[in-house]
Structure 1
Amino acid sequence: MPKRVDHDQRRKEIVEAAWRLIGRGGFEAATMREIAAEAGFANGALKYYFSSKDDLLAAAFQHTFFRVNERASHTIEGRTGTAAIRTLCLEMLPLDSERQIESRVAVAFWDRAASSAPLRKIHRDSFAIWRKWIEDELETARRNGEISSGLSDRAIVDTLFYIITGMRVLPTLEPGATRPEAQLEMLDSVLSRIA
């Protein structure tokens, strides 16, 4: 009997292989040959799962957002309002080796997204999900009396995104420049001003 192949699982393995290579060595390291080797496939096998390298790279970019969302959905469980917002923000920050790799991958993709409409759309759609998530929790926080500042939801979300984006970029460009403790202090300082 022929071996049954889980094509979704194989596709995921290829995406994760590309993602790891980009995290270690940037786009130069993510050739189709290297991605296939990292995933444990023959070079030509990737064509069955992705029509082009651009499609594969787009899936790897999306994977970065999926990882944050998956972790956040578990860590936020039971939290609401400002506690949930802080938890989501923590999942985006490069506070440990896993999230540092995510930040390196995100920064690498942001450069490419500047000249790629499909990658910009992935970025825009993913940030829209995070924006909605935070706005829903802001509504809860206001109802519960956690926020008394007159800042609009848009101003709060924009401030958080600017701070988090900067904190993802700086440690990528200057490893060790921003300690996790300093990132937490900065985030908590911003959140306290919002409240």
Structure 2
Amino acid sequence: MPRLVDHDERRRTIVAAAWRLIADRGIDGINMRDLATEAGYTNGALSHYFSGKDEILRTAFEYVIDATNQRIDTSVGDGTGGQALRRLCIELMPLTDEARLEARIAVSLWQRAMTDAGMAAVNNLAVADWKRRMATYWREAIDDGELPSCEVDAGVEVLMTAIIGLQVSAVLDRSSTSRATQLALLDTVLATPAE
């Protein structure tokens, strides 16, 4: 009797292997042969689960975003206002070893997104969703008197830019992105009214 193959599990195994290689070598250090070896499959076997390297990389990017969104949903829950805004930001920031690894992978994949419209779309949809949620929570915090009145859309742009900058810094210069430094930056952005 033929063995049943869990297609989704095999795809996750291949993506996990891609994560490890991207984290270790960067996006330019990945080739299909090494990826197959890292995943424990033959090179030809990968074609049963993905159309090629681009699809594997795009899926790896989607998994980073999905993992981040799961953490956000768990942390924020039914929260609102300033507490929800802060928790969302904390889950986007590279504060833990897991989040730093994801930042390393995301930064590598942004390079590919510059020339891959599909990958750019994955990134842009995620960022737009995070910014929308930030704006909603920030307005609630202003209405509840938790944060000073400001131009929320401008504040969200500053906040997202700071978080993306922290992800890059966490990859390139970990010593400048301690947990305390990152949280102090978050508090500064939230306390400074954007005009």
What TM-score results when the alignment is normalised by the length of structure 2? 0.91
The CA deviation at 1:34 is 1.9
In structure 2, the partner of 1:145 is 145
Counterpart of 2:175 in 1: which secondary structure?
A: coil
SS in 2 for 1:176: helix
Greater shift, 40-49 or 139-148, is seen at 139-148
**Backbone CA RMSD of aligned residues:** 1.8
1:45, CA displacement in angstroms? 0.9
Q: Does the residue aligned with 2:95 lie in a helix, a strand or coil? A: coil
Q: Distance in 1 between matches of 2:143 and 2:177?
A: 35
2:172 — aligned with what?
A: 173
The 2-side partners of 1:96 and 1:16 are apart by 19
- 1:121-173 per-residue CA deviation (whole Å, 9 max, x = no partner) reads 1111111121222233234324433334131x321211111110111111211
Partner of 2:26: helix, strand, or coil?
helix
1:194 to partner: Cα distance: 4.4
The aligned counterpart of 1:8 is 8
Unaligned runs of 5+ in 1: none
Which amino acid in the other structure matches residue 170 of structure 2? P
Deviation at 1:46, TM superposition (A): 0.7
Counterparts of residues 51-66 of structure 1 (less than 5 Å): 51-66=51-66
Q: Is the 8 A contact 2:141 2:147 kept in 1?
A: yes
Instruction: Give the structure-1-normalised TM-score.
Output: 0.91
Take 1:93 and 1:24, find their aligned partners in 2: how far apart are those partners?
A: 21
2:153 pairs with 1:157: no
Counterpart position of 1:47: 47
Q: Identity, % of aligned pairs?
A: 39
Q: Tell me the number of residue pairs that the alignment of Structure 1 and Structure 2 aligns.
A: 194
Question: What pairs up with 1:23-172 in 2 under 5 angstroms?
Answer: 23-151=23-151, 153-172=152-171
Alpha-carbon distance in structure 1 between the residues aligned to 2:48 and 2:96: 35
Q: Which runs of 5+ in 2 are unaligned?
A: none
- Which of structure 1's runs of 4+ aligned residues deviate more than 6 A? none
Deviates more, 1:60-69 or 1:29-38: 29-38
Deviations 1:60-101 (A, max 9, x none): 111111111011111112421111111111111111211111
Give, as a single letter, the amino acid of the residue that structure 1 aligns with 2:111: D
